[in-house]
Structure formats: structure tokens, C-alpha cells
Amino acid sequence: MKANSASRLPHHLPATAQVVALAGGVGGARLADGLAQVLPPENLTIIVNTGDDFEHLGLYICPDLDTVCYTLAGLANPATGWGRADETWQALESLGALGGPTWFRLGDRDLGLHLERTRRLRMGQNLSQVTRHFCRALGIAPTVLPMTDDATPTWVYTIEGELPFQEYFVRRQCQPQVTGFRFEGAERARPSPGVLEALNKADLVVICPSNPWVSIDPILAIPGVRPAVQARRAVAVSPIICGETVKGPAGKMFLELGITPSALAVAKHYADLLAGFVLDREDENLVEQIHALQVQTLATDILMKTPQDRARLAKEVIEFGLRLSCTS
Ligand code: FO1
């Protein structure tokens, strides 16, 4: 497990502050890792999108939970952000040679986790229990919670028809033009144990720089989550710098939905939930328009190239968010 650097938190931050992060995808995992570096583990809960989950080759795959857990455990592939470092692909090659589907790349090391998750789910454990077990086994100290233990698969409406999320994202490389999203069964889903409890006692809720449409909105669609976030008034970090998504298709999605992609568009997307919004210095020209939404801003360097960047940004976000909650 990686060293916790909570001692590097500025002394004026309350040591007991409870922080909840909403995360999905690579950007979300990287800020979650920054938060884990600067907060004591008992003060951090990470609620993760499970709308991307799907069954593939008979295995239950949870890409965002795995990206968060591998990142926190220091095992993530630094090039892709998803999957494992030092991966090998022999099972995939053998699958391809036999005519099996190889469009979704499962590496040899990664496969072990999917096999064990699937085995445990078939034994009757729920996703929260399996995730808790994996976190313990991988030495992950903060609490990582799937948003729900119920299946709420994301569907992408496109001009070519409706596609399951991974078919759109990986198989079709986000090519078909998007017209909307659907989170199947979300209205009947229950937040997983601990989700509402963590939100209700949070001193700060951080919406990570994840895709608003397909990483954060599925979490907010789980009954009880949006009102709980709204009651705490969150701080969001922009996944967009100078109109471009740092990683992934969020910018393309905004455009196809008729919205100019920008940090301002992200702030507007979440406006009813936010006390504060963190954007890149390069986007400082947008702060007045964000203030007009009754949302305070912090302009800083939000690109996370190194683990040190993650910790520095996390510290700034916490300081900014707690300062806002003291003054509101
Ligand atoms: N993303 C890809 O673009 N191509 C892949 O082949 C792929 C495989 C994969 C395997 C395991 C895993 O946990 C994630 C994987 N991802 C892959 C990433 C994932 O599909 C997306 O990044 C997320 O669902 C979006 O947050």
C-alpha cells in the first residue's frame, strides 16, 4: 500500500473533516488517489459509478470500480489509466485465435480479479461485499463503495439506435453521434449500504473530474443521492480544460448534445448541486459567468500528470471546499 501523507495537510484543516468523493473513470480515479494521499483513510469515502458494469465472456466486469481500486492500490496501467500495469495478454490472444471476442481487452492479471468477483457474486455476495474484500486484499484503506448493489446499466442513445455503454464506448470507440443517455432501473435501485450515511455526514462532497454524463449522472440518478449531495452543496472539478476533455469523450458528448464543451458547461450541468467549482487557470476568463450561477470558483492547475499533482490538487480542493462550507 502507498504511504499516506496526511501529515502534509495544512494545519488549519480540521483533522476530522469527512470527505465524500463521487468518481468514475480515469480522471475520477486520479483525484480520488490524491484525496487518499492527503486524508486519513477513515475520513474518505469514494462512491463509484457502476453504470458501466457489464457481463462479458460470462464474467462480471466493473470498469470504474476497478480503475479506482487499481489506482488507489498503485497497480493501474499508467498509459491507459484502466487495467493493470505490467499486464500481459496471453489469454486474450488465445481467445482471439479461437475466434472469441477480443474487442474488450482483458489482460491476464486483470482477468484474475474478474474471475474472483464473478465467483463471489455467484456464491451470493453482493457487489459491496466483494468490493470491501478486494479493497482489504489490495491494501486500500479509504472506504470505496459501489453506488448501488443493483444493476443499473447505462444505455447510450445514438443516431444509430440505443447501445449498451461498453458497446458504444469501447467497441464503437464513441463514434456514433450521441442523443442522450438512460440508466436502466436506476429509479428502483437502492444506494449501497453506507452511501447515504456517508453523504449525510460529509463536511465536503467532491465531484471528481469524471464524465458528467456517463460517470457522475448515473450516481446522481440513484434515489436519495442527488438530494443528499444538494443538501451538502458540493465542489466539482472540471474534466474540461480550454474546451477539450482531459481524457475521454465528455467534450464530444457535450457537442453532440448541442452544448459548447467548456468548464462553464460543466458548472452549469451541476449548478444546482454546487457551492464551488474548480477549473483550470487557462479557463480563468469563465469565472464571472460561473459566479453568476451563484457558484464560487478556484482557478488552479487541474491537469494531473503525476501522483504529486493529484495530491496537490486534492489538497487545494479540500481547502477551497472547507473554506466555502465555513463561510456559507
Ligand atoms: N477501455 C477501452 O477503451 N478499451 C478496452 O479494451 C478496455 C478494456 C477494459 C478492461 C477492464 C477495465 O476495467 C476497463 C477497460 N476499459 C477499456 C476501460 C473502460 O471501458 C472505460 O474506461 C470505462 O468504462 C469508462 O469509464
CB within 8 Å of 132: residues ≥ 6 apart = none
Q: Is 83 in the pocket of ligand 1 (CB under 6 A)?
A: yes
Dump pLDDT digits (tens) for 137-171. 999 999 999 999 999 999 999 999 999 999 999 99
Q: Is 149 in the pocket of ligand 1 (CB under 6 A)?
A: no
Domains of the chain by start residue, with CATH: 5-327 (3.40.50.10680)
Dump pLDDT digits (tens) for 196-251. 999 999 999 999 999 999 999 999 999 999 999 999 989 999 999 999 898 889 99
What is the C-alpha to C-alpha distance for residues 73 and 32, in angstroms, rounded to an integer? Answer: 11
Q: What separation in Å is there between the alpha carbon of 14 and the centre of ligand 1?
A: 37
pLDDT at 247: 83
Q: What pairs with residue 23 in β-bridges?
A: 48
Mean of all residue pLDDT scores within the chain:
94
Q: Is 110 in the pocket of ligand 1 (CB under 6 A)?
A: yes
Q: What separation in Å is there between the alpha carbon of 310 and the centre of ligand 1?
A: 21
Q: What separation in Å is there between the alpha carbon of 62 and the centre of ligand 1?
A: 9
Dump pLDDT digits (tens) for 115-132. 999 999 999 999 999 999
Is a pLDDT exceeding 90 seen at residue 13? no
> Phi-psi region for residue 180, left (φ > 0), alpha (ψ -120 to 50) or beta?
left
- C-alpha grid cell for residue 263? 468548464
Mean pLDDT of 77-98: 97
Confidence of residue 7 (pLDDT cuts 50, 70, 90): very low
Is a pLDDT exceeding 60 seen at residue 4? no
Mutate to test the pocket of ligand 1, among 26, 30, 104, 215 (most ligand atoms within 8 A of CB): 104
pLDDT at 1: 36
Q: Tell me the backbone φ, ψ of residue 302, rounded to 5 degrees.
A: -105, -5
pLDDT at 10: 52
Q: Is 87 in the pocket of ligand 1 (CB under 6 A)?
A: no
Q: Which of the residue ranges 15-19, 109-113, 205-209 would you say has the lowest mean pLDDT?
A: 15-19
Mean pLDDT of 22-31: 97
Is a pLDDT exceeding 70 seen at residue 275? yes
Per DSSP, which regions of the chain are E strands? 19-23, 44-48, 54-56, 59-61, 143-146, 154-158, 161-164, 178-183, 204-207, 234-237, 240-241, 244-245, 274-280, 296-300
Predicted TM-score (pTM) of this structure: 0.95
- Are 276 and 324 spatial neighbours (Cβ–Cβ below 8 Å)? yes
Q: Tell me the backbone φ, ψ of residue 146, rounded to 5 degrees.
A: -65, 150
Is a pLDDT exceeding 70 seen at residue 38? yes
